[in-house]
Structure 1
Amino acid sequence: MKNISILFTAADRIELDEVESDFLPLGEHEVLTRTRYSLVSAGTELACLSGVEDWFNFPATPGYTCVGEVVELGARVEGIVPGDMIYSWGGHRQYNVVDTAHTGRLCVKAPADMPLHLVPFTRMITVAMTALRISSIELGDYVGVVGLGLVGNFAAQLAGLQGGEVIGLDLSEKRVALAQDCGVHHAFAIDPATISEQVAEITAGQGLTTLIEATGNPRALPAALPLLGRYGEVILLGTPRGEFTSNLTDALSYVHLDGRGSQTFKGAHEWRYPVARDAFVKHSIQRNSEIVLDLMRAGKLQVSPLHTHTLPPTEAESAYRGLQQHKDDYIGVVFDWTAV
């Protein structure tokens, strides 16, 4: 079937084209959806566009979070009917197919009373939620989040919901202001000359209990380690990219030496949890997604301030150039497929 899709055809080349998708006939457990909205995951998609991700082979369609209307389903699909709105991990294309029997695929009904354009943000929130799931954050803990982009902002909000006293840190004044608008009251633009004093004042000299590194920039971590208190934990949420040469011994001393804190480092890649619910595992991405949708519906997570742009797929080039060149202005970029 013909399927209008955003394509990365080569490094730094973006096209919108009609491609042939081998979706039909559907398998007995498959669901065909017509996309309403899809969200750009800036960090991953810009890395794919630049050609640094080995798993992304040109030409290909980027994207992995969308909401769409069910238009057809296989004979053995249960609990879903045509017309239902489905949140899935489909790409930036007119039509997507979800195999509901595949334990590595996600297919969740969108709440009927929730604005559809906000549903794709669920994926970025569940990515951020991984940091909370593996952390030891308890009521009254001091939680620092370095990097207040989409994922970092959501991590800060979730840490607050978990009972943490959150301190958001970023180099960008605009992202700091945006975090404050989302309820992160202690948010600062990082000034190396004063940041230690600011954190010490808020934490009464104890330092952070948990440090969530959400930038993925390996240069950000070493400078942040002194902000962490004794026996604190470092959560590596952002995917590290790019080369960085440093003194690893100095970083490891924060882990090993009692005099430097005996810190614990933890990785927070979302794939450490199963996608589908599992009777033997408490957390899953499906369960996290359902919880996130409930939190969004209840107004406990601020999403609208982070939704900065809605563009038709015909303006994909403009969207990605904005994400590349105007990072402080292009935060949450949604493609609107309703007129396609």
Structure 2
Amino acid sequence: MKQIIQNYRTGELELAEAPVPLCSSNKILVKNVASLISIGTERSIIELGRKSLLGKAKARPDLVKRFMEKSKKEGLVKTFKEALGRLDNPTALGYSSAGVVVEVGRNIHKFSPGDMVACIGAGYASHAEYITVPENLCCKIPDGLTCEEASFGMLGVIALHGIRCAKLAFGESVAVIGLGLLGLLTVQILKAYGSKVVGMDIDPGKVELAKKLGIDYAFTSEDDFKNIINNFTTGHGADAVIITAATKSDAPVNTAVDVARYGGRVVLVGVADIHPDR
């Protein structure tokens, strides 16, 4: 079968020939019909892979810390060789797909060969012709939904997780900063929750789309965004702010702090500098 892999040391991408994975007793074997390319997460992974070792270290200080801690216990040379070995291992890309069940493990009872399923999870729902996935990372595709539509499942999960992290009560007001794909999914779920939703994005097209999808208010202007939140919360501020923007700037976080009420929750689902002005 064909599969997209990346070498993390060189950053090289390859459409490689690989054996069809074996179906173990607790997984299902799926023939992919569609797999989702994430322009956020996967682009950042690819860009990280193309950096030099020093660039990788600067981009992932958390991994450097783990490397230093392990070096103290097991020695620098041994730890360095292990790290290089991991970088040389080909890594499968992709984390959200949909397809048809080909085979099920003997401990699987929810699925049968021929079922159409949506699959999620890095290391499982890869860009490959065939994948094996645990039972809890799959669900049957409802009638009337295409595999292309169902392959967006992981993004829906991410949006839902961000909302749950905000710990909302029914009818609370929520500001959404960034109305890209994740932001628009977040808006629709929030409206289904019964929340009052105000959104902001620098792209007028995304703002108009958010309005068509039922958002209460949406703006490209930060001043208009802040004013409407102040008006309809009678000056208290939004109960929660969910940031679904991708930027190296701290502007989204500073805006979130400005519009959130005292004791409000700020959830960062996207990518931004998390050090607000104080």
Give the TM-score taking structure 1 as reference length: 0.62
115-124 or 45-54, larger mean C-alpha shift: 45-54
Deviation at residue 163 of structure 1 after TM alignment: 1.5
Write the deviation string for residues 279-317 of structure 1: whole angstroms up to 9, x where unpaired: xxxxxxxxxxxxxxxxxxxxxxxxxxxxxxxxxxxxxxx
Deviation at residue 36 of structure 1 after TM alignment: 0.7
| Residue aligning to 1:93 | 128
| Residue aligning to 1:80 | 111
Match of 1:110 among 123, 129, 141: 141
| Residue aligning to 2:67 | none
| Residue aligning to 1:67 | 98
Give secondary structure in 2 for the equivalent of 1:114: coil
Deviation at residue 9 of structure 1 after TM alignment: 4.3
Deviation at residue 184 of structure 1 after TM alignment: 1.4
Write the deviation string for residues 11-64 of structure 1: whole angstroms up to 9, x where unpaired: 66544x23223623x322332111011112222101101015768956432110
| Residue aligning to 2:73 | none
194-203 or 140-149, larger mean C-alpha shift: 194-203
One-letter amino acid of the structure 1 residue matched with residue 25 of structure 2:
E
Write the deviation string for residues 165-217 of structure 1: whole angstroms up to 9, x where unpaired: 100111221221221222213111133x4432232233333321111122254
| Residue aligning to 2:21 | 23
CA separation of 1:165 and 1:57: change in aligned 2, threshold 3 A: farther
Deviation at residue 239 of structure 1 after TM alignment: 4.7
- Aligned residue pairs total 237
Write the deviation string for residues 83-116 of structure 1: whole angstroms up to 9, x where unpaired: 111221211111101233xxxx512222233222
Q: What is the distance in 2 between the residues matched to 1:245 and 1:75?
A: 50
| Residue aligning to 1:230 | 262
Return 5+ residue gaps in structure 2 as ranges: 49-55, 64-85
Asked if the contact 1:216/1:237 (under 8 Å) is kept, the reply is: no
Match of 1:205 among 235, 240, 252: 235
Q: What is the distance in 2 between the residues matched to 1:246 and 1:140?
A: 28
CA separation of 1:67 and 1:159: change in aligned 2, threshold 3 A: same
Match of 1:35 among 32, 36, 59: 32
CA separation of 1:6 and 1:181: change in aligned 2, threshold 3 A: farther
One-letter amino acid of the structure 2 residue matched with residue 91 of structure 1:
S
Deviation at residue 129 of structure 1 after TM alignment: 0.8
Deviation at residue 117 of structure 1 after TM alignment: 1.6
The structure that has the greater radius of gyration is 2
Give secondary structure in 2 for the equivalent of 1:151: helix
Q: Quick check: 1:221 aligned with 2:253?
A: yes
Q: What is the distance in 1 between the residues matched to 2:6 and 2:221?
A: 35
Match of 1:161 among 172, 192, 195: 192
Q: What is the distance in 2 between the residues matched to 1:190 and 1:35?
A: 42
Asked if the contact 1:210/1:234 (under 8 Å) is kept, the reply is: yes
Deviation at residue 120 of structure 1 after TM alignment: 1.7
Q: Quick check: 1:186 aligned with 2:217?
A: yes
One-letter amino acid of the structure 2 residue matched with residue 230 of structure 1:
Y
Q: Quick check: 1:170 aligned with 2:219?
A: no
Q: What is the distance in 1 between the residues matched to 2:192 and 2:93?
A: 32
Asked if the contact 2:28/2:108 (under 8 Å) is kept, the reply is: yes
| Residue aligning to 2:72 | none
Counterpart mapping for 1:315-326 below 5 A: none
Deviation at residue 72 of structure 1 after TM alignment: 2.0
Give secondary structure in 2 for the equivalent of 1:42: coil
| Residue aligning to 2:66 | none
Give secondary structure in 2 for the equivalent of 1:88: strand
